[in-house]
Chains A and B, each alone.
Chain A
Amino acid sequence: MENHNEEVKLSPMAEKAKELLSTLEMPYNDSSLIQDNKILFTINASLYRVRMPSQREKTLAEDKKNRMYGELLEKGGYKTRKQLKQLLKQNSDIDIDQMEVEKNTIQDEIKNSLYLSLATKTSDDVETIDSIKKKIEDLRLKHIQIALEISTHLSASIEDRLEKEFIEYVAYLCTEKADDKEVDKWNPIWTSYDEFQNANTKVETKAIQHTVILLLNSRE
């Protein structure tokens, strides 16, 4: 009688082919973020997805953003980035323009000094390469810290609020949950934007994060 539990022995050639296939397949398995314009995620064993907005949905989100702009202007008291920069400088001694200059100086130092030096090193000069790379990494970290600081200071600006509104509205429109019964059927999660805004689960946070990844610079 045939033993089905016995492991199939592969010839050395087949073993090699299997190994090669596994290395080829590896990046494919890990390419979920780019293989299409949707990102899947699971929370509490339920499957969700965020997809790219259609042209109509983008228009709806733009419209929502514009309406919010009108509301903020009507209410008054909200500041543009430029106004906020001036206020921060006058009242809190926080100079955003100076921080921008610092950021650019770091970028220039990385490019014009370290990159040019690193690019001409031969691969056997490991010590020098590692030392330059360490300097670049440190400067990049400093650059990120300054960028984050600027972004925190300006997050209350009108422009940042509008950007946030756009992203959140797209997240609301384009996040869907897999149907429990029908395969490949996706249903909306929230019945209204208010419901999305008032909900306090992990789904909204994930939806917003993934929307940011999907949109990145695609709107520019």
Chain B
Amino acid sequence: MYLENYVRDLAKSFYWQKLYSSSKTNNGIHIFENQTNFSGIQILFLYWLEVYHLLYTELSQKEWENLNEEVIKDNIRTDAFLYWRSKEQEHELYRIKQQEREYKAQNKKPQRGQVRQHQIFKGVPKK
């Protein structure tokens, strides 16, 4: 728990966020001294760098009403927000898929007098 908090506090800091954004656009800027063979804690740190990078981006775009600086500062509130957001996104995805299914189902039913596209190319049935 302590280690994760240590990694998260570093990852959300201005210094590391700035370095991370710069490294994304400038190939000459590296986050770590080593470029390969990352340690487990470095991989964990990279994960949280990206999570906080996204959170700060969404915060600046005011994407979510319940995301603010105080939420980001507090690890428990951030965890809660991340879970809530994943559920919201799941619901949204489900809603879109449901709409797609309904749309496809409606379009499958041929209207009276309407010829299905594949019937045009069907050719003469074999006797």
Contact = CB atoms under 8 A, between A and B. Distances in A.
Interface string A111-136: 10011101111110000010001001
Contacts of B71: 123
Contacts, number: 98
A37 B45 CA distance: 12
Interface residues of A, number: 38
B76 A118 contact: yes
Given A27-B16, A111-B83, A118-B80, A218 B39 contact: yes
A37 B44 contact: no
Interface string A53-76: 010000000000000000000000
A136 B1 CA distance: 14
B52 interface: no
Interface stretch (A77-85, A179-187, A188-196, A208-216): A208-216
A87 interface: no
Main secondary structure of the interface of B (DSSP, over half): helix
Contacts of A137: 76
B63 interface: no
Nearest to A116: B84
A8 interface: no
A27 B38 contact: no
A11 interface: no
Interface stretch (A28-36, A97-105, A149-157, A198-206): A28-36
Scoring B38, B42, B43, B71 by chain A CB atoms within 10 A of each residue's CB, the highest score goes to B42
A213 B41 contact: yes
Interface string B6-47: 110110011110000000000000001110011111111100
B32 A34 contact: yes
B56 interface: no
Given A33-B41, A35-B33, A217-B44, A114 B80 contact: yes
Interface of B: 1, 3, 6-7, 9-10, 13-16, 32-34, 37-45, 66, 68, 70-71, 74, 76-77, 79-81, 83-85, 87
Shortest beta-carbon contacts, A-B, top 8? A216-B40, A119-B84, A218-B40, A36-B33, A118-B80, A115-B80, A37-B39, A119-B80
7 contacts: A31-B16, A37-B37, A114-B80, A119-B84, A120-B66, A129-B77, A213-B3
